[in-house]
Every structure is written in C-alpha cells, then in structure tokens.
Structure 1
Amino acid sequence: MYNSFRPGQVWLDTDGNRIQAHGGSVMYIDGTYYWYGENKEKSDGKNGIWQWGVRCYSSQDLYNWKSEGIIIPANTDDPESPFYYKNQMDRPHIIYNKKTKKYVCWVKVMHKDDTQTETVLTADSILGPYTIVNEDISPLGMSAGDFDLAVAPDGKGYYYFERVHSETICADLTDDYTDLTGYYTTHFPHRFPPYVREATAHFIRNYKHYLLTSGTTGYFPSPSEVAIADTWHGPYTVLGNPSPQDTTKTSYYSQVTSVFKVQGKKDLYIACQDRWLPNEMNRKYEDYAKTFEQFFNPAMKDTKPDNLDDVVVANTSIADYVWLPIRFVGDRPYIDWHDEWSLDDYE
C-alpha cells in the first residue's frame, strides 16, 4: 500500500505489477479516479511491439491503483489496424459526452511515411468495450501529432494538437466529439524540432486557460513550456519554463501527458508526466537537442547528426511516472521537484 507519491520511482498496481498507463490521463467518475494510457508491458525495444493496447486503472486515493484490464486491445492480425501491436499508436485521451452519453476516445497513429492520423472510438462505459467510429483521419487536412481533449462546462469540446513539426492547433469538436467542425486557431509557430511544442496538456484554473507542452525530442525529455489565455482559443501568452530551477532542462527527465485537479482540494493540480527513458538520464539535453535540429533544420542539412537509433525504439516497458503538484504564484504555475509528497500537504 502506498500513502504518498514518489516521482520517478517504480509504481506498482495492487497486483504488484508495473502500472502501464502512459501518455494518457486521469478521469474522476462518481467518486472513483480512472487512469488510462498506453500499455507498454511488452515493448522491450527489441521485439517490435510498440504497444499492447490501452489499459485502465481505478483508485479511490490516487496512490493505489487497481488494474481494470485492457479496455482497448491490441490487434495481432491486421497490420492495417490502428491498434496493430507493431503500429505506433500513442496518446489515448477520453472525454465524456453528456448529450450522447458516450465516452469518446481519440488516439494518434504514426505511419511509416511519418504522417500521423487520428482514430476515434466510442463506448458506453469508461471501461469499454470501444468501437471505432472514425478511422485514419487527418484533422483539418493536417498531419496531427500529440494532443489533448477538453470539454467546457456547456458541453463544447476542444482538440489541442501539434501540427507535426510546425505549430499548435486548437480546433472545435463536433457535437458528438467524433470529428471537427472546421474552426480552428493556431499558436506557438516554430520552424522545426526540438522547438516545436508537443504533448499538449490543457487545464483551467480561476477562469484562466493553460497549455503545458514539451519540446519535440521523441522519447528524450526536453524543457516544458506553459502558456496562459482568457479563452479556449486564446490568444495564448507564453510564460516560459515552469521549472526554472531544473538545470538539466529535461522537466525532471520526463514529458507531460496531462494535468488534473484533485477533487476535494482547494487548489491542487497534478502534472502527470512520463519518464520514458529511466536508463538514459545521463544524456544531456543540449547534445540530443542539437541532433534533432540537425535532422530537421534545412540550414544544417550538410551536417551529419548523431545516431540515436539505440533509443528511438526504446525499452518503454520500464518507463516510470513523475507526478508533481503545481504551485501557483498569482496566475503563474510552477512545477517543483519533490522526492516524496502527499495529498495531506495541501488544503
């Protein structure tokens, strides 16, 4: 039994197995928290298995998590399926539609030609079964990378995503959340990685909208960036790195996946982050960031980037989690390191 959070340490479920819920999020439903994400239990970096479906856990206290099983299974027969176990299916995010009474899940799929599309599924329960209702879509005609989904109090849905290697897009969802209306706004334009923002996580506090993002360095960690706005579509003002004391420039060797507010707490928000490469923490951000720029910056096309193939397909079955509380000074959020912390530390 756990009674505290210990960021970066191995986190086991109530059966004694590593928690496998990467790149996902946490939902609070009828007094229970549900944490879901990519199941990487078989992704050892050698066998070609990228993911083994989407797994979900339940908890009453946020420390101890019971496995509810695989809610979207991997496909082992059809290489064309978005859930084929060797396909790069990432970042499942689920929202609930009060009108249709459906749970709507979007996932990202990266293809061999480096384009990225989305697949949408629905279910009557958070635990499934889920049915594909919209497959292999290019949102707004764009290659769409890491993303987040959000719902306004009036039921309007929003989709925040990285237009691959370019900018961040905020787009309106259709009423059933399974597609886009066509209306969108653009934010944070950059010419190439590692500066392009991805892994967008949206949250609201005191009527202010926040977007917490990472840089584009694959499984390697990068400096986070936070931006603030008065409305869903912004305009967003970049506030900078929320962890200025992190001299490694790696967001504590992790990448953000989502942010949620703790029920019953006055002002406690938790930044949920994946530590994808716990065995690669000796690498310096400045070194591999330069390599990524050499890959994508046309002005550096004559330079030969370092080879990062040894961790491009990595052993993510041992990826850990870095859950940290967000501290606010006025409207500005900060994420500080804690070796261990507890919900009891907050009102």
Structure 2
Amino acid sequence: MTLTSFHPGQVWNDTSRNRIQAHGGSIITVDGVYYWYGENKEFTVPGSSIWHWGVRCYSSTDLYNWEDRGLIVPPVEDDPEHPLHPGQAVDRPHIIYNEQTGKFVCWIKVMSKGSLQRSTVLVADDILGPYEIVQTWLRPLSMSAGDFDLVVDPHDGKGYYVFERVHSELIVADLTDDYTNVTGYYSTHFPQPQPPFVREAPAHFYRERKHYLLTSGTTGYYPNPSESAVSPTIHGPYTVLGDLHPTDASRTSFHTQISSVFEHPLKKDLYIALGDRWLPTYLDDGDHAHRAFEEHFAPGRDGDVRMEEFAEVNTSQADYVWLPLRFEGDRPVIDWHDEWSLDDFEDR
C-alpha cells in the first residue's frame, strides 16, 4: 500500500512490507533523494544478547514510502572485542557530508561496561557505502561521550560534534576540517548533578540565524519531558525555552525520544522531529504516567537515582513518531497529530 501521509506511533513498514529498522535515526538528502538511516534492531529481542545488527538505510522521494537499501555499516560478527560486534551497544549513527573531501562521514556511539562511552568514525564516497573505519574507541576530548549530533554550519561548512558528557553536561566541540575528529576547542552547557536531570539525545537545527538544541532527560528507555534551548551561536549561551510538548498530559514527550530534526528542503519553515517510541506497549496517559516516571527514577536512600528497567524491552518492535514543529516566536512546540501530511505546509 502506498502511503500519502504520516501516522505517528503506528507500525511503519518499508515498500517490501517489512518493519522499518532505522532507530535513533536521521535523514540526509543526496541529489534530491532522502536517505533515512539508523540502528538495525531486527534481532534485538529479549534474551538475544544482540544489541544491534548494523546500520540500515532506506531511500525515498516523498518521506512516506521507504525502500530498504540494506546495511550500510554491517556488524562485525567474528570479533566480540570489535566496536561493531552485535553484542556491543552501538547507538545513534549520524552522517554528514564533507564538501572539501567529498566524503560522507559517519560517527557511531559505542557504550561499554560501566559508564564509558566512546566513538567509532567511518568514511565513504557514497551515502550507501562501503564505509571504511578511520577511528575506533575514540574518546573525544578525553571524555566519555554519549548521545550526540553532528552539525555542519550552512554558511561556512564548519563541522561540530554536540554530545552528552556522560552523566554530566552537554558539550559542543569543533570538528577537524575532515570531520573525523575534534580540534580541542569546545564549550559546555546545561550542567546537572546526575541522571535523570542530565540532558541527552541532543538534536540540533538552525532557523532564522539561531541555533536550537532539543534534548531529553536521562531515563533509559523510559520517555521523559523534552526540553528546547536557543542560542545566537552554536557555542552559546543557550536560553532554555521549556518542554517541547506542553500539551502532553503524560509528560513523556508523547511517549517518544527525539533522535534528530529534519528541515524539509522544499517546504517553507517545516522542521520534522524524528522520534523513537522505544516502549510502544507502555502508553499510560495523564498523571499515572508521570507517577510511574517518578517511581522508576526517584533518588534512593544513598542519593543515587534508581534506574529500574521495565520487565520487557523489545526494541525490535519499537515504533516511530514523526511530528512537525511549530513556533511561538522563538519557541518550538510539538503538537500531537494522529495523521498529518506535507500538503499541510506551503512550498518554498
């Protein structure tokens, strides 16, 4: 069946009628074609010990109907110590194009035991690969680097790496000219004492000469109230604007965590928040959901936050919630839509 609109939170299949596997995903436009890529979780079921099965990519010309283009970064199956082994916690790939080198540059977060989180960096001549690893187990700025976004300044092509310094604060770091490392220059933002208050899952976008960062709290797979911030420069200072989803009574960002924001190249002022609904079977509403949030992430007697997981987390069945942003002055706001269409927005 050919789709002609978005249906947030419903199962989304590709053109071969298979469930789309592009979690923690982003979209990049190449020669007028949209490419949606993300974590392939098709085998990540309870008890499998498989965290990922590579990075999968899909292509589309309308954003509704997606053709499976396969694994652009396949897993490394025969080496448990390799950062791309299926048992490694590979998360949130981001790809940007470098005009100077003509390379597509992909960064991937890899979590290790404990709180140490590091990066693997790959490059390719084509968006669909093959990708060659150029950095493994990278600790940018000698920091444990968690959820992140990659940013290219639309005016001068300069690259930036925006990441959560694990359980601490958000960092904006300058990338080298080839986008494969950091230069050493960085700024710090939104310091917090501990999860769940620490901001993670940064999603950057640029609008009307201002830089925006959308973030979530640190609560594992359980969704929480999102937050937006705006700055005249990418290095700040950022002004916090509040919850992106003010009409959501459950205070769970419509049971979603945003992974990236896509600016539509052909529609006027259309920014789409791409979100993951990691726990589609837990959709409590209203005060009950917020009480569950507090119970699962309340401080214990020792002051540490109790990070209890749900009985079953089956990310192979996670769904997607794509919703448009609207703006109240500078403030971005996301409203719920059971269905929406690109036709609702003006052409550029």
Question: Which category describes the TM-score, using the shorter chain as reference length?
Answer: over 0.9
- Structure 2 counterparts to residues 20-35 of structure 1, below 5 A: 20-35=21-36
Q: Deviations over 1:281-301 (max 9, x none)?
A: 237244334433436xxxx41
- Structure 2 counterparts to residues 218-229 of structure 1, below 5 A: 218-229=220-231
- Structure 2 counterparts to residues 277-292 of structure 1, below 5 A: 277-282=279-284, 284-292=289-297
Counterpart of 1:120 in structure 2 is 121
Contact 1:221 1:285 in 2 (8 A): no
Contact 2:90 2:108 in 1 (8 A): yes
Measured after TM superposition, the shift of residue 141 of structure 1 is 1.0
Q: Following the alignment from structure 1 to structure 2, what is the Cα–Cα distance between the partners of residues 307 and 30?
A: 45
* 1:193 alignment partner AA: P
- Per the alignment, do residues 22 and 65 of structure 1 end up closer, same or farther by CA in structure 2, a change over 3 Å counting? same
Q: Unpaired segments of 5 or more residues in structure 2?
A: none
Residues matched between the structures, number: 341
- Per the alignment, do residues 37 and 179 of structure 1 end up closer, same or farther by CA in structure 2, a change over 3 Å counting? same
Q: Unpaired segments of 5 or more residues in structure 1?
A: none
Counterpart of 2:322 in structure 1 is 323
Contact 2:220 2:307 in 1 (8 A): no
Counterpart of 1:61 in structure 2 is 62
Computed over aligned residues only, the root mean square deviation of the Cα atoms, in angstroms, reads: 1.5
Contact 2:298 2:305 in 1 (8 A): no
Q: Deviations over 1:173-214 (max 9, x none)?
A: 000100000000000111111111100000001111100011
- Does 2:263 match 1:261? yes
- Percent identity between matched residues is 61
Taking structure 1 as the reference length, the TM-score comes to 0.95
Contact 2:6 2:322 in 1 (8 A): yes
- Per the alignment, do residues 197 and 286 of structure 1 end up closer, same or farther by CA in structure 2, a change over 3 Å counting? farther
Counterpart of 1:237 in structure 2 is 239
Counterpart of 1:162 in structure 2 is 164
Taking structure 2 as the reference length, the TM-score comes to 0.95
Q: Deviations over 1:143-202 (max 9, x none)?
A: 111000010121100010001111100000000100000000000111111111100000
Contact 1:192 1:293 in 2 (8 A): no
Contact 2:152 2:158 in 1 (8 A): yes
SS of corresponding position for 2:311:
helix
Counterpart of 2:199 in structure 1 is 197
Q: Following the alignment from structure 2 to structure 1, what is the Cα–Cα distance between the partners of residues 303 and 172?
A: 35
Q: Following the alignment from structure 1 to structure 2, what is the Cα–Cα distance between the partners of residues 304 and 253?
A: 21
Q: Following the alignment from structure 1 to structure 2, what is the Cα–Cα distance between the partners of residues 148 and 126?
A: 18
* 1:108 alignment partner AA: K
Measured after TM superposition, the shift of residue 304 of structure 1 is 9.4
Q: Following the alignment from structure 1 to structure 2, what is the Cα–Cα distance between the partners of residues 240 and 143?
A: 27
Contact 1:150 1:158 in 2 (8 A): yes
SS of corresponding position for 1:129:
coil
- Structure 2 counterparts to residues 14-163 of structure 1, below 5 A: 14-153=15-154, 154-163=156-165
* 2:67 alignment partner AA: K
SS of corresponding position for 1:64:
coil
* 1:291 alignment partner AA: H
